[in-house]
Amino acid sequence: FYDEAEARKYTQNSRVVEIQSQMSERAVELLGLPEDRPCLLLDVGCGSGLSGDYISEEGHYWIGMDISPAMLDVAVEREVEGDLLLADLGHGIPFRPGMFDGCISISAVQWLCNADKKSHSPPKRLYRFFSTLYTALARGSRAVLQLYPENSEQLELITAQAMRAGFTGGMVVDYPNSAKAKKFFLCLFVGTSGTLPKGLGTECANEEPHQAKFTNERTRFRNAKGKSVKKSRDWILEKKERRRRQGKEVRADTKYTGRKRRPRF
């Protein structure tokens, strides 16, 4: 577990924030959510809410689960927009059937392969997690779980327990030929066997890529979907309006909202 100081240090690391943001963006893209309505998503191993920030930016609602009280405390301090639950994934997903329109997880599921206590059986804990996750997801939805497997045996164990629980789908590997950019996403379908998305960086050089190209930096400007630059005045006003709709107390808008402060002498 992270202690309070480690959790805060992890969350404030700009490199960590950038990587989490990129992987969250990719995971949500792989969910294939409808564009005409907001969805309710489950964030498994949500930590301090970095992945939840991206879900909120996209206009969706989320509930996050994590085993670390210190990480969840930091999420509360950061005033994330999702609801938070302290829970061990190996004990299962404690929500009613069909509640969620999708699930994402960034760098969490592989920890279920560890036997931290004598009573822990990784296959049983994985099966408990996947079987209850399957129940909590709406039919036709997806779960996209980014993970860092230690070896091929661990990957097979995780995939086998997911399929045993009723999921279909498989592994999407982005940039399989790159040691640094290579990422594993377990893309699972509920109740339907969809077509597995293509991994990024797998296209031939003479073909047009079917999905967004990988960049080290996410550009934030008002794009085709009408989203605003992060931290800009418009972005701040939109976030405040979302919070008002959720019944939260928000400071009134003024001419100073979103204005950059001058450096102190």
Domains of the chain (ranges, CATH numbers)? 4-190 (3.40.50.150), 228-264 (no CATH)
Q: Give the pLDDT confidence score for residue 145 in this predicted structure.
A: 97
What pLDDT does 233 receive? 82
> Has residue 226 got a pLDDT over 60?
no
236 to 98, 225, 232, 257: CA distances (angstroms):
33, 17, 6, 8
Give the DSSP H or E segment for 188: strand 183-189
For 144-166, give the DSSP string.
EEEE--SSHHHHHHHHHHHHHTT
Residues 6+ apart with CB under 8 A from 210: 198, 203
Of the candidate ranges 55-59, 108-112, 235-239, the one whose mean pLDDT is the lowest:
235-239
Considering only residues 129 and 9, tell me which one the structure prediction assigns the higher pLDDT: 129
Angstrom CA distances, 88 to 91, 98, 151, stand at 6, 20, 23
Closest C-alpha among 183, 185, 182 to residue 142: 185
The mean pLDDT value for 245-251 works out to: 77
Distance CA(200)–CA(25), nearest Å, equals 13
Contact 144, 197 (CB under 8 A): no
pTM: 0.73
What does pLDDT average to over the chain? 84
